[in-house]
Amino acid sequence: MTTLNLNASVAIAADNTDQAKTSLFYQEQDNEVALFEYAYNQQLPVLIKGPTGCGKTRFVAHMAEKLNKPLYTVACHDDLTAADLVGRHLVGPQGTYWQDGPLTRAVREGGICYLDEVVEARKDTTVVLHPLADDRRILPLERTGELIEAAPGFMLVVSYNPGYQNLFKGMKPSTRQRFIGLRFGYPESEIEQDIIIKETGVEPNLAFKLVELAQALRRLEDNDLEEVASTRLLIYAAKMMTSGMNPLDVCRCCLAEPLSDDIQTVNSIMEVVKIYF
């Protein structure tokens, strides 16, 4: 993976381009691989909704690898503007020159552009996303006067976490209705155990206990916790345990503390942890 820092406010990971490829493990949860492939074949954009750490980014990276496409990943944030996506004029020793942003590169190369947490981005980004996400498949570059037709393999993929949304940060229906929607959740117990084992090499018994614990914590969600234990956190915990750390300490720093700032809640999580470790 190459990280290109084209400017201070956007970090872009251009994967699968010129670097040696390593096969990324992805455990399918339902029929999302086939759905994504159909959407790709039909040149349709895809929207993935799901909680943090449930495998959205891994899935997109896996699909880019499977389809042999360059992948441009952009982690959206509230200062991200359309210019961060399409590009901007820069000043160099030879004077001013234009530098394509990640979206423009993907459009020209026929790659996949993945906008993670797209609802965080500034609203002006919809101006460039709409004509790309419908049957026009064009990208107007206002600053250069260019109108780029997306290369045949270009695919726009966006994701967001519906749980984070508030009144001001929802995705507009006119944007949402341009995408094929996939809903992700945390994997079923056996699949999640499998993921933990494959990602960390832990014994099945430990993976089983971590998933049981996560499920107990997930049942607390509506009452006590804003967020529940993600697959990502379970993987962190499994990795720390294999390095020899005490399981209770691991669960405190990998699960309880990342899930809550409230000391009472952290203590309650630890009470649940003690049932399993």
Please classify residue 5 by burial: count the beta carbons closer than 10 Å to its beta carbon, then call 0-12 exposed, 13-18 middle and 19+ buried.
exposed
Distance CA 60, CA 77 (A): 19
Radius of gyration of the chain (CA): 21
**Of 20-28, 119-127, 148-156, 166-174, which segment contacts ligand ADP by CB under 6 A?**
20-28
Residues between 225 and 254 that touch ligand ADP (CB under 6 A): 231-232, 235
In whole angstroms, the minimum distance from the beta carbon of 184 to ligand ADP comes to 7
Distance CA 79, CA 158 (A): 17
Residues 192-231, mask of contacts with ligand ADP (x by CB under 6 A): ---x---x-------------------------------x
Residue type, 147: L
In whole angstroms, the minimum distance from the beta carbon of 244 to ligand ADP comes to 21
Q: Which DSSP helix (H) or strand (E) runs through 245?
A: none
Q: How many other CB atoms sit within 10 Å of the CB of residue 32? A: 20
Residues between 127 and 186 that touch ligand ADP (CB under 6 A): none
In whole angstroms, the minimum distance from the beta carbon of 1 to ligand ADP comes to 13
Residues 30-59, mask of contacts with ligand ADP (x by CB under 6 A): --------------------x-xxxxxxx-
Q: How many other CB atoms sit within 10 Å of the CB of residue 214? A: 23
Q: Which DSSP helix (H) or strand (E) runs through 100?
A: strand 95-100
Specify the residue, 80 or 195, whose C-beta has the smaller distance to ligand ADP. Answer: 195
Binding residues vs ligand ADP (CB under 6 A) = 25-27, 29, 50, 52-58, 187, 195, 199, 231-232, 235
